[in-house]
Chains A and B, each alone.
Chain A
Amino acid sequence: METLKARLRPLLGKLARAAGLDEELNRLRGRVERLEREVQETRRLHQRLAELTDVVTEVLVPAADREDERIRAVLEKYNRTSF
């Protein structure tokens, strides 16, 4: 079976080139690579959004009373207990 496959491979290659399939295959490979990069770029937003939301809920929301001492205390506590 392996020998048969090996013999057929060059023939299939020629056929694919003749039909323009190899170009199509290369084009699709490139497109999959680009899509994978784009997917990963988008996935990274999960972490950025989590980080921003954490700061907003833990710091900005308590800071809404506009009292400087309280804001300082909130920031000090956030930095002391978050990382």
Chain B
Amino acid sequence: MGDVTGEAFVDRNGVTVAAEDGAVVDVLFDDRWVWSFQAGRDTRAGGGRQAPWPVSLRQFLRGHSRITVRERFDEKTLFDGEFAFDDSDARVRIEDHRGKPLIVDKAGDLQCGFAERGQATVDALLDAVEDVLARLAGAGVDAFLAFGALLGAVRDGTFIPHDSDADVGYLSKYTSPVDVARESYALERVMIEAGYRTWRFSAADFKVIVPDPEGGRAIDVFAGFVVEDVFYLMPEVHAAGFDAGVILPLGEVELHGRKITAPADPEALLEITYGPHWRVPDPSFKFETPRWVRRRMDGWLRGNNGNRGHWWPFYFGRSRDAVPTEPSPFARWVHEREPADVSIVDIGSGTGRDSLWLAREGHDVLGLDYIPAATERAGRQAREEELPARYKTLNLYDIRQVLGIGAELAHRDEPPVLYGRFLIHALEDSGRHNLWRLADMCLRRGGRFYVEFRTGMDADADHEFGEHFRKYLEPDTVIAEIEARGGQVEHREAGHGLAVYKNEDPHVCRLVATWKR
């Protein structure tokens, strides 16, 4: 490793380096590589050039560790020594629940890299890549290996050791984003009908979840399309004056000894994707997407992910464990007001604390939430306890889903009771308006909508779960919206003491609304 130059130091906030702009800096814990950053781009401006510890990593920084900071391309060690993050005796363990080491990927998320995975996992993923590519081809699109998987295949014939998922792209024949989105919806249906689970990230890309011996990997399916001579490959890539000959006719590359469908000229697509230095491994790589490209992709195809940046890690990480498991006072209140045989639809079901309890009390329950980790976990719990509860993802920002679920509920023999606890203040305006649309669709023949939300009087209070997006609405405003959508409010109360949690006693409003015509 050579001499330690002392050009870096480590503290609880991050790693401070004296490296030149653009230098790629690797950070190792007990000799294991965990994270890389780029000096300048990822360091705070000013005298101390500090790269803050990635948010995803912070939860693991307890105890002490030997930390090595080195410049990747100069092979220069800038710091090497023991560091204690707190007073505990433990060594820092950056591992998943199975004890597999985790690394920080280019999106700042923790991943278990291929280097740590068994052959069975790699084989399962390769099988799925072949299957997904074949199904996409069967659906009529020109699909190919893309991004990190293509890069690894061309460079080494294997997955990149620090990568964790596989990516495929396809070149759409459509040239209007409306049709590109519709095609992506249709392709997602192909995958679900084939038995895969999926998670959608924009109107033109979704993840296919592949079960494997270690808990599952993902294959991202990205749309590529040309609008006005500019090629766009979700989620970050573009090429002006694009020559379709880069992709068509499709060819093959070798990946772990298998022939996998690839673009006609993989090197050219890799240069478009990663720039001219794509051959040099750089785990600190981040896309520098021009503003005009990002605005187009955002405007055309994104925008249904309101606050998902907060709730995704909340339910996929450990924060969810802080949510109480006993039912909320609101759930008990609703249960007392409704007959036990009434079926309840919990919108924004989260960990399932209320919906699981309502099911234990005998209600038939449908739990809906836009974070798959939340619905999957609650669904597992319901199956284990053999409860009459099922869970499904529902994104209230997506009109398709709102209309689809709204119509299905409207066609039930008995109208449901809708339940939304701490949902109203978690939604942006468009999501809330869709919520009223959903209620309007399925409560016309009866049923009720129970909501409990934080009011404007809670805005300046301290919150046990910290500060994140909350829209504090006055009860009058919410009632006016319900009435404007054809509903009537039959019960209203607001005050403290209704939703006490630890040291927090928020000012909340409870409403019961009907939409019967």
Chain A residues proximal to chain B, CB less than 8 Å: 36, 39-40, 42-44, 46-55, 59, 68, 71-72, 75-76, 78-83
**Neighbour of A71 across the interface among B295, B303, B398, B411, CB < 8 A:** B411
The CA of A82 and the CA of B401, in the complex, are separated in Å by: 8
- Can you name the residue of chain B whose Cβ is closest to the Cβ of A76? B408
- Can you name the residue of chain A whose Cβ is closest to the Cβ of B303? A44
Q: A40-B299, A47-B301 are in contact. List 9 more A-B contacts (CB 8 A).
A: A43-B177, A43-B295, A44-B299, A68-B411, A72-B408, A81-B189, A82-B189, A83-B200, A83-B393
Question: Total interface residues on B, using CB and 8 Å?
Answer: 37
User: Which residues of B sit under 8 angstroms from A54, Cβ to Cβ?
Assistant: 182, 185, 400
The CA of A74 and the CA of B448, in the complex, are separated in Å by: 26
**Neighbour of A53 across the interface among B182, B301, B394, CB < 8 A:** B182
User: Which residues of A sit under 8 angstroms from B173, Cβ to Cβ?
Assistant: none
* Chain A proximity of B333: nearest CB distance (Å): 29
> When the two chains form their complex, are residues A39 and B299 in contact, meaning their CB atoms are under 8 A apart?
yes
User: Which residues of A sit under 8 angstroms from B399, Cβ to Cβ?
Assistant: 48, 51-52, 55
B176 is an interface residue with CB less than 8 A from chain A: yes
> When the two chains form their complex, are residues A50 and B181 in contact, meaning their CB atoms are under 8 A apart?
yes
> Interface residues of B: mostly helix, strand, loop or mixed?
helix
User: Which residues of B sit under 8 angstroms from A55, Cβ to Cβ?
Assistant: 399-400, 403-404
B405 is an interface residue with CB less than 8 A from chain A: yes
* Chain A proximity of B435: nearest CB distance (Å): 16
B192 is an interface residue with CB less than 8 A from chain A: yes
The CA of A49 and the CA of B180, in the complex, are separated in Å by: 11
The CA of A42 and the CA of B295, in the complex, are separated in Å by: 12
> When the two chains form their complex, are residues A49 and B178 in contact, meaning their CB atoms are under 8 A apart?
yes
> When the two chains form their complex, are residues B185 and A46 in contact, meaning their CB atoms are under 8 A apart?
no
Q: In the complex where A47-B181, A51-B399 touch, is A82 in contact with B404 (Cβ < 8 A)? A: yes
The CA of A40 and the CA of B392, in the complex, are separated in Å by: 31
> When the two chains form their complex, are residues B192 and A75 in contact, meaning their CB atoms are under 8 A apart?
no
- Can you name the residue of chain A whose Cβ is closest to the Cβ of B297? A43
A-B contact pairs, 8 of them (CB 8 A): A43-B300, A47-B177, A47-B304, A50-B177, A55-B399, A75-B407, A75-B408, A83-B200
**Neighbour of A47 across the interface among B192, B295, B303, CB < 8 A:** B303
User: Which residues of B sit under 8 angstroms from A81, Cβ to Cβ?
Assistant: 189, 192-193
B345 is an interface residue with CB less than 8 A from chain A: no
- Can you name the residue of chain B whose Cβ is closest to the Cβ of A47? B203
B298 is an interface residue with CB less than 8 A from chain A: yes
> Interface residues of A: mostly helix, strand, loop or mixed?
helix
B286 is an interface residue with CB less than 8 A from chain A: no
The CA of A49 and the CA of B181, in the complex, are separated in Å by: 9
> When the two chains form their complex, are residues A46 and B301 in contact, meaning their CB atoms are under 8 A apart?
yes
B296 is an interface residue with CB less than 8 A from chain A: yes
> When the two chains form their complex, are residues A50 and B203 in contact, meaning their CB atoms are under 8 A apart?
yes
> When the two chains form their complex, are residues B192 and A43 in contact, meaning their CB atoms are under 8 A apart?
no
The CA of A79 and the CA of B403, in the complex, are separated in Å by: 10
User: Which residues of A sit under 8 angstroms from B455, Cβ to Cβ?
Assistant: none
> When the two chains form their complex, are residues A80 and B407 in contact, meaning their CB atoms are under 8 A apart?
no
> When the two chains form their complex, are residues B181 and A43 in contact, meaning their CB atoms are under 8 A apart?
no
* Chain A proximity of B138: nearest CB distance (Å): 16
The CA of A72 and the CA of B203, in the complex, are separated in Å by: 26
* Chain A proximity of B180: nearest CB distance (Å): 8
- Can you name the residue of chain A whose Cβ is closest to the Cβ of B296? A43
**Neighbour of B185 across the interface among A39, A50, A75, CB < 8 A:** A50
User: Which residues of B sit under 8 angstroms from A76, Cβ to Cβ?
Assistant: 408
User: Which residues of B sit under 8 angstroms from A79, Cβ to Cβ?
Assistant: 392, 401, 404-405, 408
- Can you name the residue of chain B whose Cβ is closest to the Cβ of A82? B189
* Chain B proximity of A82: nearest CB distance (Å): 6
User: Which residues of A sit under 8 angstroms from B408, Cβ to Cβ?
Assistant: 72, 75-76, 79
* Chain B proximity of A40: nearest CB distance (Å): 5
- Can you name the residue of chain B whose Cβ is closest to the Cβ of A48? B399
* Chain B proximity of A27: nearest CB distance (Å): 22
User: Which residues of A sit under 8 angstroms from B299, Cβ to Cβ?
Assistant: 39-40, 42-44, 46
- Can you name the residue of chain A whose Cβ is closest to the Cβ of B411? A72
In the complex, per-residue mask of B164-184: 1 if CB is within 8 Å of any chain A CB, else 0? 000000000000111101100
- Can you name the residue of chain A whose Cβ is closest to the Cβ of B181? A50
Interface residues of B in 176-232 (CB under 8 A from A): 176-179, 181-182, 185, 188-189, 192-193, 198, 200, 203
